[in-house]
């Protein structure tokens, strides 16, 4: 079989090169499947119409100020027909999820680029004043943090279990030409048991795990990001 390419690295053995080409076959297949999944995702028809125009509470971010009510329809802003909405596991009276915090640390840095193409916001059950405090501590200067407390959004869109446990689901909503809002996509692979410990439902947005997957040790099954400021 003809090699996939002619590149070789210093002092590698034939055994290494043979194993590496076998892995490369898988990586190329993964690339093809990723493109196929992206194309199928883009081709999805409109999902269900938004159940209601939820009224959230938004704080002042890194600046001091009073919270204000914001309708979900207003989160699209001007000139945006797509809204990415992440459900942050920060329950009322509870603690912020370390995993969500790690994810949002990275998302905050990329948010200005994302918002060139789509609107972006983060929802949690915690009161907006608590979210603002945590956002300031993490220096989330590019994320809109809103409280969904007092609404049924989390339970309606499966970011909360029947027992009230918060779930880290990413949603995409689409606004049509007439202003109607439809659910387009959610990270549903989270609900499909993986048997491996990691649901991998947000891997394409989370550089942490992708980087660790490249190492000999891998991401492991017992290490999780620390909530302490890095």
Quick: pLDDT tens for 52-80: 999 999 987 666 667 899 999 999 998 89
Residue 186: CA count within 13 A, CB half-sphere: 20
Domain that holds residue 31: 1-43
Tokens of 183: 């659910």
Tokens of 52: 């209601």
Backbone angles phi, psi at 147, to 5 degrees: -95, 130
Contact 99, 168 (CB under 8 A): yes
State whether 177 and 74 are in the same domain.
yes
State whether 154 and 83 are in the same domain.
yes
User: Cα–Cα distance between 153 and 173 in angstroms, integer?
Assistant: 13
State whether 8 and 113 are in the same domain.
no
Burial class of residue 122, CB neighbours in 10 A (0-12, 13-18, 19+): buried
Decide if 135 is inside a domain: yes
Write the pLDDT tens digit of every residue in 101-114: 989 999 999 999 99
Decide if 217 is inside a domain: no
State whether 70 and 159 are in the same domain.
yes
The per-residue pLDDT for 224 is 73
Contact 169, 190 (CB under 8 A): yes
């Amino acid at each position: 079989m003809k090699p996939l390419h002619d590149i070789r690295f210093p002092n590698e053995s034939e055994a290494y090169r043979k194993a590496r080409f076998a892995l490369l076959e898988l990586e190329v297949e993964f690339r093809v499947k990723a493109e196929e999944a992206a194309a199928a995702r883009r081709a999805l028809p409109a999902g269900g119409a938004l159940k209601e125009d939820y009224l959230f509470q938004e704080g002042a971010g890194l600046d001091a100020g009073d919270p204000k009510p914001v309708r979900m329809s207003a989160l699209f802003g001007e000139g945006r027909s797509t809204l990415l909405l992440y459900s942050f596991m920060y329950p009322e009276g509870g603690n912020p999820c370390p995993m969500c915090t790690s994810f949002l640390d990275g998302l905050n840095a990329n948010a200005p680029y994302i918002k060139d193409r789509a609107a972006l916001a983060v929802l949690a059950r915690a009161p907006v004043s608590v979210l603002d405090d945590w956002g300031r501590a993490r220096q989330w200067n590019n994320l809109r943090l809103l409280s969904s407390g007092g609404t049924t959004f989390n339970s309606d869109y499966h970011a909360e279990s029947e027992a009230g446990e918060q779930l880290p689901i990413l949603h995409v909503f689409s606004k049509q030409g007439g202003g109607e809002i439809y659910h387009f996509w959610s990270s549903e692979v989270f609900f499909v048991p993986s048997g491996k410990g990691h649901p991998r439902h947000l891997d394409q947005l989370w550089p942490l795990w992708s980087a660790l997957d490249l190492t000999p040790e891998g991401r492991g099954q017992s290490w999780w990001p620390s909530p302490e400021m890095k």
